[in-house]
């Protein structure tokens, strides 16, 4: 078994869910050790790009190369050449219409831009999420004046009670009219991405475009969206906190993220 690529989820895998921008020093050093051995790293996360990039720099992917797959698989980035590989875009006109729809439902709407999050407010979901993203929030009532770049994802924020009420309404109204899906990522945040997109589809597109193979890849993740990469990779792992589906496909189950269980996975890869 020859491993050339390691694919890593972030939240619940490399760190606690919503654990900030950086991994522990032990995890950082082990991921650098893997790269020094010639193994390429792909960070695959539902986080927006600005929530993954600081970690990529922490583990020196700008030096060794590697790729980021962010925003639920809709945005891919080449760390070595510092360029976007693809973006499954939401159209600006659609985003502005969905903005108005969400405001009528009494929840905040955010449009992801490369330099900032253009948002209608800074309610609970956005406040909690900003700890995991190195990005400024631009609060405005005139989003059309500030959205001028590609949109990889839109987000909806409020408190849990309001999201409980708004989620089924927005899911029905948006998915019936637009080519997008509405996903509840946390109690206080909804993600809106292009239909047919997800971590699974994004990884397949990224791997094909840069001529990498799951036959020479190892993967670790904890959520159902990670199950395919665990199943498809020649060596797949999950953690004690991983979902039942991940555990069904995993070749290895490590201790939980609370114990930096990913270290056992990295050590195993080093020994293969």
Q: What is the pLDDT along the chain (272 residues), one digit of tens a residue?
A: 889 999 999 999 999 998 999 999 999 999 999 999 999 999 999 999 999 999 999 999 999 999 999 999 999 999 999 999 999 999 999 999 999 999 999 999 999 999 899 999 999 999 998 999 989 999 999 999 999 999 999 999 999 999 999 999 999 999 999 999 999 988 999 999 999 998 989 999 999 999 999 999 999 999 999 999 999 999 999 999 999 999 999 999 999 999 999 999 999 999 98
Residue ranges of domains in the chain: 5-87+197-271, 92-194
What backbone phi and psi angles, to 5 degrees, belong to 110? -130, 140
For 208-260, the three-class secondary structure string (H helix, E strand, C coil) is HHCCCCHHHEEEECCCHHHHHHHHHCCEEEEECCCCHHHHHHCCEEECCHHHC
CATH dotted code for 5-87+197-271: 3.40.50.1000
- Give CA separation, 217 vs 5, 38, 58, 226, 267, in Å: 5, 13, 22, 14, 15
- CA 184 to centroid of chain Cα atoms: 14
Distance CA 40, CA 10 (A): 16
Q: Which CATH number fits domain 92-194: 3.40.50.670, 1.10.1740.10, 3.30.1240.10, 3.90.870.10?
A: 3.30.1240.10
Closest CA to 190 of 135, 129, 137: 129
The pTM for the full model equals 0.92
Candidates 173, 172, 171; CA nearest to 182 is: 171
């Amino acid at each position: 078994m020859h491993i050339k690529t390691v694919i890593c989820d972030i939240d619940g895998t490399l760190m606690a869910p919503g654990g900030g921008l950086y991994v522990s020093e032990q995890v950082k050093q082990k991921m650098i050790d893997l790269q020094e051995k010639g193994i390429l790293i792909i960070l695959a996360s539902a986080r927006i790009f600005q929530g993954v990039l600081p970690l990529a720099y922490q583990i020196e992917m700008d030096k060794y190369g590697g790729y980021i797959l962010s925003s639920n698989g809709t945005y891919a980035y080449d760390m070595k050449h510092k360029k976007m590989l693809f973006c499954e875009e939401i159209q600006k006109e659609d985003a502005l219409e969905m903005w108005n729809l969400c405001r009528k439902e009494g929840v905040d709407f955010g449009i992801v831009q490369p330099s900032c999050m253009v948002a209608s407010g800074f309610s609970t979901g956005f406040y909690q999420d900003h700890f995991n993203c190195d990005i400024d929030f631009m609060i405005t009532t005139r989003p059309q004046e500030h959205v001028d770049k590609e949109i990889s994802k839109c987000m909806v924020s409020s408190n849990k009670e309001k999201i409980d009420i708004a989620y089924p309404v927005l899911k029905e109204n948006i998915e019936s009219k637009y080519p997008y899906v509405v996903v509840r990522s946390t109690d206080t945040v909804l993600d809106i991405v292009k239909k047919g997109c997800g971590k699974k589809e994004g990884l397949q597109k990224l791997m094909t475009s840069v001529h990498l193979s799951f036959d020479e890849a190892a993967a670790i993740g904890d959520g159902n969206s990670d199950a395919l990469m665990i199943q498809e990779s020649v060596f797949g792992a999950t953690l004690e906190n991983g979902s039942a589906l991940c555990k069904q496909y995993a070749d290895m189950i490590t201790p939980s993220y609370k114990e930096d269980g990913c270290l056992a996975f990295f050590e195993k890869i080093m020994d293969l």
